[in-house]
Amino acid sequence: MQPNRKIRLAVIGATGSVGRATLDICRRFRETFDVVAVAARTNAQGLFTLATEFQSRYAYLQTPSTETIQKFQEKDIELLAGDDGLSSIASLDCVDHVVFASSGTDAIVPLKHALLANKNVSLANKESIVAAGPWIMPLVRRPDQLRPIDSEHSAIWQCLRDEPAKGVRKILLTASGGPFREWSLERMRHITPSDALKHPVWAMGAKITVDSATLMNKGIECIEAMQLFNLSPPAVGALIHPKSLVHGIVEFTDATMKLLLSQADMRLPAAAAIAWPERLPLSESFPLDFCVPSPQEWALTFSEPDHDRFPCLRLAIQAVEMGEAYPPLLVGADQFAVGAFLEGRIPFLMISNIIERTMERFSGCAPKSIEDAIALISEGERISAEVYSATGG
Ligand code: NDP
Ligand code: MG
């Protein structure tokens, strides 16, 4: 961090769960961060409130109304729009660091532009790396130019600092197990969207909350980790850890491990990413004391995921093994299936079923470009819609 100059940030997905967590850190450390630009998809009022609070010079909405454009103009905020607008936000000259905290896959091309413009990037959006990692990762020019915000990846990233790659034997991502960790398969037949949206530990957006309940989130995170840390399937695993205190574990070749432990709050990995190489003074706000409330409360338990009740984790690993077309296909199929579940069109247990059948049906080629990878996400959505229709939906 340069001592006399604020870090000039663009926050994409500013109105969402991770975006707000990141902005909370910026609010606490106004002398360190200048939020130059904020972006959301449709939440004009939420974005306007944030843009005026942080006195941002730029904002982005996908298709703002004339009235909205005028409202931003009156406050001297330049409002960008359309597909290219998001890439423009990600490569503004007056921005040092872009935070990708948007949901979905619209961030892929802006992420590419941010890296090409040599910005530092903090990345929460996992879909973009899972679908387009083979084209995004080669654009990273400097160590730590790309910093993960996803808590497990932030943990691994922090544990790997100053560690030579050849000393790493395995990395393990922890999962709370979600709200249905102890439910029988019979009981799981009757899961409603409101059951699935009650996560025991994390407060997150709807899509990722359902992905956490199916364990697809952990599967997607395993693929994300393979891309970020250049590892292959046997070297990346997942462990159920209901307390969500340990976020990631690195096992080294000399039979030692490093674990990263913190409160389960996305403000912490967001702070680690945007402030690197500094550590912000947050210990009073997020205290860790092994004797409070009692040492027993700190007992750490880990178990293997149950692949029979939660097949999505296995499907994600299979997608990597099946070839480069399958991770983007899986992202598209999961987007469709989670949407259909949230709209009450399919039962919870059918999410994995639709994804599995989409992967079986696909017979296309491996992607040769980032555009092909993006097209495969749409293909995953299209095939899964067909699979759904075939069930009489
Ligand atoms: P939310 O649903 O809470 O928020 C999504 C945000 O993205 C909103 O600000 C939304 O704007 C914005 N957005 C969506 N599409 C676009 C677009 N095309 N252009 C600009 N902004 C857009 O999601 P989360 O915060 O939960 O998740 C965000 C990402 O981070 C996901 O990829 C998720 O997997 C990942 N993640 C989330 C974690 C969490 O704890 N929530 C943890 C780790 C990773 P609008 O409000 O207008 O719709
Ligand atoms: Mg995570």
For ligand 1, residues with CB inside 6 Å are 12-19, 39-43, 62, 86, 101-104, 106, 124-127, 150, 202, 204-205, 208, 266
Ligand 1 atom at minimal distance to the Cα of residue 14: 9
Among 12, 18, 121, 218, the mutation site with the greatest number of ligand 1 atoms within 8 A of its Cβ is 18
Banded model confidence at residue 393, pLDDT cuts 50, 70, 90: confident
Q: What is the pLDDT of residue 202?
A: 82
What tens digit of pLDDT does each residue of 250-302 get? 999 999 999 999 999 999 999 999 999 999 999 999 999 999 999 888 899 99
374 alpha-carbon distance from chain centroid: 17
Query: For atom 17 of ligand 1, which residue has the closest CA?
Result: 41
First to last CA, the chain: 54
Q: What is the pLDDT of residue 176?
A: 95
Separation of CA 349 and ligand 2 centre (Å): 22
Mean pLDDT of 76-88: 97
Separation of CA 63 and ligand 2 centre (Å): 30
Among 11, 17, 147, the mutation site with the greatest number of ligand 1 atoms within 8 A of its Cβ is 17
CA dihedral 44, 193, 128, 108 (to 10 degrees): -30
Six-digit token string for 362: 């696909």
Separation of CA 102 and ligand 1 centre (Å): 3
Query: For atom 43 of ligand 1, which residue has the closest CA?
Result: 150
Banded model confidence at residue 3, pLDDT cuts 50, 70, 90: low
With contact defined as beta carbons under 8 Å apart, do 37 and 63 qualify?
no
Ligand 1 atom at minimal distance to the Cα of residue 15: 9
Strand segments (E) across the chain: 7-12, 33-39, 58-60, 78-80, 97-100, 120-123, 146-148, 168-175, 236-240, 246-252, 257-261
Question: Going by C-beta distance under 8 Å and a sequence separation of 6 or more, which residues neighbour residue 97?
Answer: 7, 8, 9, 10, 119, 120, 121, 122, 274
Of how many residues is the chain composed?
393
What tens digit of pLDDT does each residue of 373-391 get? 999 999 999 999 999 999 8
Separation of CA 115 and ligand 1 centre (Å): 20
Average pLDDT, the chain: 96
Separation of CA 124 and ligand 1 centre (Å): 8
Closest among 171, 167, 173, 174 to 252, alpha carbons compared: 167
Separation of CA 284 and ligand 2 centre (Å): 24
Q: Which helix (DSSP H) or strand (DSSP E) does residue 116 occupy? A: helix 108-116
Ligand 1 atom at minimal distance to the Cα of residue 266: 40
Mean pLDDT of 343-354: 97
Burial class (CB in 10 A: 0-12, 13-18, 19+), 252: middle
Ligand 1 atom at minimal distance to the Cα of residue 211: 34
191 alpha-carbon distance from chain centroid: 24
Separation of CA 43 and ligand 1 centre (Å): 12
Closest among 305, 344, 353, 277 to 181, alpha carbons compared: 305
What tens digit of pLDDT does each residue of 15-29 get? 999 999 999 999 999
Banded model confidence at residue 318, pLDDT cuts 50, 70, 90: very high
Query: For atom 23 of ligand 1, which residue has the closest CA?
Result: 205
pLDDT of 356 higher than 80: yes
Q: Sheet containing 236-240: which strands, arranged edge to edge?
A: 236-240, 168-175, 246-252, 257-261
Q: How far is CA 154 from CA 158, 160, 222, 257, 356, in A?
A: 6, 10, 13, 16, 29
Q: What is the pTM of this model?
A: 0.96
Mean pLDDT of 174-200: 95
Q: What is the pLDDT of residue 157?
A: 98
Q: What is the pLDDT of residue 146?
A: 98
Give the HSE-up count for residue 285: Cα atoms under 13 Å, Cβ half-sphere: 11
pLDDT of 201 higher than 90: no
